[in-house]
Amino acid sequence: MTTTVDAGAATARTSLADYLSSVLRRLPPLPPLDLDLTQAYGHVLAQDVPAPHQAPSFDYAAIDGYAVSADDLLGVARMTRLSVIGDLTAASWRPVRLTPGTCFSVAAGAPLPGGADTVVPADWTDQGMAAVEIHRPPKRGHGVRRAGDEIGAGTVLARAGVVVTPALLAVFAATGIAHVVVRPSPRVVVAATGDELVDLGRVSQPGQVVDVSSHALAAAASEAGAYVYRLGICDDDPEGLRGLLEDQSNRADLIITTGGTGVGPGDMVRRVLARRDGVRAGSVAFTELAVYPCSMLGFGTVGVEEVPIICLPGDPGAAMIGFEMLVRPAVQLLSGAQPVFRPSVRGHLLTAVQSPLGMREFRPAQVSERRGGGYTVQPLAGGPYTLSGLAASNALMVLGERIGSAPAGSTVDVMLLDRRR
Amino acid sequence: MTTTVDAGAATARTSLADYLSSVLRRLPPLPPLDLDLTQAYGHVLAQDVPAPHQAPSFDYAAIDGYAVSADDLLGVARMTRLSVIGDLTAASWRPVRLTPGTCFSVAAGAPLPGGADTVVPADWTDQGMAAVEIHRPPKRGHGVRRAGDEIGAGTVLARAGVVVTPALLAVFAATGIAHVVVRPSPRVVVAATGDELVDLGRVSQPGQVVDVSSHALAAAASEAGAYVYRLGICDDDPEGLRGLLEDQSNRADLIITTGGTGVGPGDMVRRVLARRDGVRAGSVAFTELAVYPCSMLGFGTVGVEEVPIICLPGDPGAAMIGFEMLVRPAVQLLSGAQPVFRPSVRGHLLTAVQSPLGMREFRPAQVSERRGGGYTVQPLAGGPYTLSGLAASNALMVLGERIGSAPAGSTVDVMLLDRRR
């Protein structure tokens, strides 16, 4: 299991800001791929997307009614009578044209006949078939959508780094786009290590600890947009572990391990991965961080393909905080997204908290909108109880290195955790 | 295509609030199912979940160090020397016990030996192997996690209606849960209708309009948590359309159509589904709503299985607003989630807007945090241009039936649209 470094120990630790700035730049976005638009939802654009055509691409009736020339209604005080010379629907394709004193009955979506510039709503007429009486003349241009009104050809519809949402997908389709160049979703492999681990559905006892972290991390990686392969539990056999991780480097864009990051004899992940090896490329640096409750992280590469690997502690609460600090931004970077960090706000702390000096603490919290604006922040169980706190949280309170305590009523930073639905 | 009812026409329309209250109660949650915890992420709990066991389930060392009895450190000013009688890791399972003057070297996660009540951090010692010198005595209980400290057996871990998040999944696993009773994700079938429709990658022209809506709705339904089957484009053949929709009732929990909701001769969805039929059960009511830009919705059932069906307009912008109003809450209800509506806030409007009187307008907007608290709301293209506005939006401004205009600086309601990442 993990080394949860005691918060009181004052060894030289790396600040989270320094650590992330050195590590995250080693994660370039994955190579782009051209996807059919039907597959593109949820992916991140690798290029700016200009509109190849304008939208709408032709003039059409926006409402059900009668397509007229406004000139035929000019000077009319109350009522006009026009001959109805045809019916048009969205499926009509033959070019047709008004003559003076005539109109077409049109359904919404029907192409506008030549010479027409206005659609009179059906409700404003007697809804006649061969001829129609118009009770109320609309303004010129009423009920019509003109080619190019909404989107001009060449308009940049979205920039590189933007996620393809349902509405963006719709705008792409409406301007004639059928393919977009996006980053693939990263393939993330999750492995739990530790001879003590047993699978779900048991109760932990000495020597048999339920593997909680790999399941939680797999779900968190899915939530972050990755394709996830959970390897399950790996024994602490050095050659076996090394081989397993190098095998995965063929199919993974990122490997996550949980457990074995400590300095004890049983901390096999660290022993296997930290040493450099002339034959097999890649190595992992383990860094003691000024972060509570996740003070040890490994980062490096595995295999000749130099697949990035992140080694998290085994303790589930610490592993989840490590995921938030490093894995989630890493998944975002690989997938090409910007920004990579969650949004933060400042809020009014409801209950005093203590926090280890010299450590940046991430503590689960419940953030609520406050009447009249702003937020309130209710701290939840942190430290060794982070896991149960996280389950009830919608945010992480961030208590900086210099904060030893924060009184009720003070203003604190909180990172908002969005929820799936 | 759709009947986009002219906003100025003053026919009797149903208010959105009345409509939703009559329609949504006809959508009970889907029958629950028992899922393996590894499959449960993202689903909604159908029952309250009590903890079957306490967590932690046994006393263990939270940190690397030496497990001692605090009594052996009593009255010691600076330094104590203890014999190290064994090493324990998380994989150790044999019951062991301290005798006075002795200790165990422990890795984080190791079960606490009998008689021990404190773990001295390795950093506070000389890190000896056979014997250890302790430079600084910790308080009794330091470095130890006690059985039941975090979660008591029987504690309700989460209530019915809550989504299984990664952290909640972790808490379940940690208390010995391997299965949970959840609602399945609804299976949603999306069909586009209209003889004019052509598939992606063309440019719309008279009589050949690209099917934008079914793709956007399929993505939106995925985002809402549904399994989505896009049927593609259905021709306006009455028997074919009816048969197709009834076939789908075997595999769908909800059917969505787009197009054909108007009153014209080409509006086949309405003609086929609105009429009652003695042999084939089910019928759909089409309702004119006081909503802009989606003023017509159909709701009812199809087939002998009475599968719910929602008929949206064909115009993509109106269809997406209809999705937000009715389909998304319907998917949430079927999946057992509460609340079913998106969160709303009030914000400071940056630019004046006009809105049709008597209609509740949903207008795309960009909401930003304001320095010093609260939000600003920048309206984006609405009305017939809602689609392009939606693509740039992160919220929908809600302009009620009585609002004809809202000046810059006024306070408006906005519904927050969360983004996938």
- Give yes or no for residue B1 having a pLDDT over 50: no
Stretch A313-332: mean pLDDT: 96
Identify which has the larger pLDDT, B306 or B281. B306
pLDDT confidence of B186, banded at 50, 70, 90? Answer: very high
Stretch B407-420: mean pLDDT: 87
**A250 and A271 inside one domain:** yes
Is the CB of A233 inside 8 Å of chain B's CB atoms?
Answer: no
Residue B4 in domain: no
B326-350 per-position pLDDT tens digit: 999 999 999 999 878 898 889 999 9
Among A305, A334, A363, residue at a domain's last position: A334
- The beta-carbon neighbor of A163 closest among B57, B387, B421 is B421
Stretch B76-98: mean pLDDT: 89
Extended beta strands in B135-217, E state: 144-145, 156-158, 179-183, 187-193, 197-198, 209-210
Identify which has the larger pLDDT, A371 or A265. A371
Residue B169 in domain: yes
pLDDT confidence of A415, banded at 50, 70, 90? Answer: very high
The CATH number assigned to the domain holding B44 equals 3.90.105.10
Stretch B230-242: mean pLDDT: 85
Is the CB of B212 inside 8 Å of chain A's CB atoms?
Answer: yes
pLDDT of residue B175: 96
Tell me the residues of chain B between 356 and 375 that have a Cβ less than 8 Å away from chain A: 369, 373-374
Q: What is the mean pLDDT of chain A?
A: 90
Rounded to a whole number, what is the distance in Å from the CA of A322 to chain B's nearest CA?
Answer: 13
pLDDT confidence of A381, banded at 50, 70, 90? Answer: very high
A241-278 per-position pLDDT tens digit: 888 888 888 889 999 999 988 776 677 888 888 765 44
Is the CB of B416 inside 8 Å of chain A's CB atoms?
Answer: no
Tell me the residues of chain A between 99 and 118 that have a Cβ less than 8 Å away from chain B: 107-109, 111
- Give yes or no for residue B316 having a pLDDT over 70: yes
Stretch A176-187: mean pLDDT: 97
Rounded to a whole number, what is the distance in Å from the CA of B407 to chain A's nearest CA?
Answer: 20
**B38 and B101 inside one domain:** no
Rounded to a whole number, what is the distance in Å from the CA of B18 to chain A's nearest CA?
Answer: 24
Tell me the C-alpha distance between B185 and B187, whole Å. Answer: 7
DSSP code string of A124-183:
GB---SSEEEESSPPPTTTTEE-TTSSB-TT-EEE-TT-B--HHHHHHHHHTT--EEEEE
Q: Which of B165, B229, B288 to mutate to test the interface with A (most CBs of A within 10 A)?
A: B165
Cβ within 8 Å, pair A4-B62:
yes
Overall number of domains in chain B: 4
Complex confidence, ipTM: 0.90
pLDDT of residue B77: 61
Give me the sign of the Cα torsion angle B250, B197, B314, B285: negative
Instruction: Dig out the tokens for A140 from the structure.
Output: 């010129």
- Chain B residue closest to A369 (CA)? B345
Residue B2 in domain: no
Q: What is the mean pLDDT of chain B?
A: 90
* B169 interaction partners in chain A (CB closer than 8 Å): 215-216, 219
Q: What percentage of chain B carries pLDDT values higher than 70?
A: 93
Identify which has the larger pLDDT, B243 or A38. A38
- Chain B residue closest to A119 (CA)? B6
Is the CB of A133 inside 8 Å of chain B's CB atoms?
Answer: no
Domain that holds residue A45: 33-53+162-183
Q: What percentage of chain B carries pLDDT values higher than 90?
A: 75
Is the CB of A212 inside 8 Å of chain B's CB atoms?
Answer: yes
Contact assessment for residue A118 and residue A112, using Cβ atoms and an 8 Å cutoff: no
- Give yes or no for residue A223 having a pLDDT over 60: yes
Cβ within 8 Å, pair A108-B262:
yes
**A194 and A330 inside one domain:** yes
Phi and psi torsions of B107, nearest 5°: -95, 155
pLDDT of residue B420: 44
Helix (H) or strand (E) holding A387: helix A386-392
Helix (H) or strand (E) holding A396: strand A395-399
Of the candidates B242, B316, B292, B245, the one whose C-alpha atom is nearest the C-alpha of residue B272 is B242
Cβ within 8 Å, pair B91-A264:
no
**A110 and A226 inside one domain:** no
Task: Count other C-beta atoms under 10 Å from residue B71's C-beta.
Answer: 13
**A329 and A197 inside one domain:** yes
pLDDT confidence of B237, banded at 50, 70, 90? Answer: confident
Residue B7 in domain: no
**B84 and B159 inside one domain:** no
- Give yes or no for residue B2 having a pLDDT over 50: no
Q: Residues with Cβ < 8 Å from A135, sequence gap 6 or more?
A: A78, A79, A124, A125, A126
Tell me the C-alpha distance between B303 and B248, whole Å. Answer: 9
A55-100 per-position pLDDT tens digit: 999 999 999 999 999 999 886 666 789 999 999 999 999 999 999 9
pLDDT confidence of A5, banded at 50, 70, 90? Answer: very low
Residue A154 in domain: no
**A138 and A254 inside one domain:** no
**B37 and B69 inside one domain:** no
Residue A275 in domain: yes
The CATH number assigned to the domain holding A411 equals 2.40.340.10
**Strand A291-292 to strand A49-50: parallel, antiparallel, or no bridges (unpaired)?**
unpaired
**B205 and B281 inside one domain:** yes
Report CA A238 to chain centroid distance, whole Å. 36
* B271 interaction partners in chain A (CB closer than 8 Å): none
Cβ within 8 Å, pair A157-B391:
yes
Cβ within 8 Å, pair B225-A420:
yes
Residue B276 in domain: yes
The CATH number assigned to the domain holding A319 equals 3.40.980.10
Cβ within 8 Å, pair A63-B6:
yes
* B236 interaction partners in chain A (CB closer than 8 Å): 91
Size of interface A-B (CB pairs under 8 A): 347
Residue A402 in domain: yes
- Give yes or no for residue A6 having a pLDDT over 80: no
pLDDT of residue B48: 97
Is the CB of B49 inside 8 Å of chain A's CB atoms?
Answer: no
Stretch B51-68: mean pLDDT: 95
Tell me the C-alpha distance between A375 and A388, whole Å. Answer: 22
Q: Which of A54-68, B7-21, B205-219 has the lowest mean pLDDT?
A: B7-21
pLDDT of residue A7: 45
Tell me the C-alpha distance between B242 and B254, whole Å. Answer: 15
Of the candidates B189, B311, B336, the one whose C-alpha atom is nearest the C-alpha of residue B250 is B189
Is the CB of A419 inside 8 Å of chain B's CB atoms?
Answer: yes
Tell me the residues of chain A between 334 and 353 that have a Cβ less than 8 Å away from chain B: 335, 337, 345
Helix (H) or strand (E) holding A331: helix A328-334
Among A84, A117, A145, residue at a domain's last position: A145
**B83 and B189 inside one domain:** no
The CATH number assigned to the domain holding B72 equals 2.170.190.11
B246-285 per-position pLDDT tens digit: 888 888 999 999 998 877 767 788 888 876 544 344 589 9
Rounded to a whole number, what is the distance in Å from the CA of A93 to chain B's nearest CA?
Answer: 4
Among B285, B312, B334, residue at a domain's last position: B334
B143-153 per-position pLDDT tens digit: 999 999 999 99
Cβ within 8 Å, pair A93-B384:
no
Q: What percentage of chain A carries pLDDT values higher than 90?
A: 75
**B23 and B37 inside one domain:** no
- Give yes or no for residue B388 having a pLDDT over 70: yes
**A77 and A193 inside one domain:** no
